[in-house]
């Protein structure tokens, strides 16, 4: 299975010069724990709710996305294999991954998405086992 079917296409983004208060409001409005930072259509980084808390603790209200984003952005292609992506997420210790097609942001996939996929697949397996088990 590739990410094309799994990735969420409603990616919440902010520009690289978005101020912290705008990022917070964007995350609150869209009820998300992260935003992908873009420069035009190109992803440049990611800001998570954890990043905001850590910078807020420093009292730096004048910062922008450029100042707080994780710049070593791990992205994957829309045709990437799910298990390869999970393995790479584990290795890099990340929970969210922007999905690209021809270098353009087209989605995002999160650890929660993979857990949901696993739960659905386990439910299907359980149904098969139940159907195959003799009743006593």
Close Cβ partners of 64 (under 8 Å, ≥ 6 residues apart): 16, 17, 18, 19, 20
Q: What is the percentage of the chain residues whose pLDDT exceeds 90?
A: 49
Average pLDDT over residues 98-125: 89
Say if 4 falls within a structural domain.
no
In a domain, 38, yes or no: yes
> For residue 49, what are the domain limits?
13-109
Residue 1 belongs to what H/E stretch? none
Output the pTM of the full model.
0.81
CATH number at residue 95: 3.10.580.10
Note whether residue 135 is domain-resident.
Answer: no
For 48-103, how does the pLDDT look when each residue is reduced to its tens digit (9 = 90+)? 998 888 876 666 667 889 888 887 899 999 999 999 999 999 999 999 999 999 98
Kindly state whether residue 114 falls inside one of the protein's structural domains: no
Beta bridge partner(s), residue 98: 108
What average pLDDT does the segment 5-30 reach?
A: 92
Tell me, yes or no, whether 1 lies in a domain.
no
Q: What was the pLDDT predicted at 58?
A: 64
């Amino acid at each position: 299975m590739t990410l094309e079917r799994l990735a969420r296409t409603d990616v919440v983004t902010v520009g690289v010069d978005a101020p912290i208060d705008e990022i917070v409001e964007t995350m609150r409005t869209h009820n998300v724990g992260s935003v992908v930072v873009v420069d035009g259509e190109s992803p440049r980084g990611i800001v998570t709710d954890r990043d905001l808390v850590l910078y807020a603790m420093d009292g730096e209200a004048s910062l922008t996305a450029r100042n707080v984003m994780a710049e070593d952005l791990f992205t994957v292609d829309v045709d990437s294999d799910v298990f390869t992506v999970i393995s790479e997420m584990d290795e890099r210790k990340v929970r969210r991954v922007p999905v690209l097609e021809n270098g353009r942001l087209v989605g995002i996939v999160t650890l929660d998405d993979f857990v949901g996929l696993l739960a659905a697949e386990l439910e299907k397996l359980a149904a098969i086992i139940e159907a195959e088990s003799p009743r006593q």
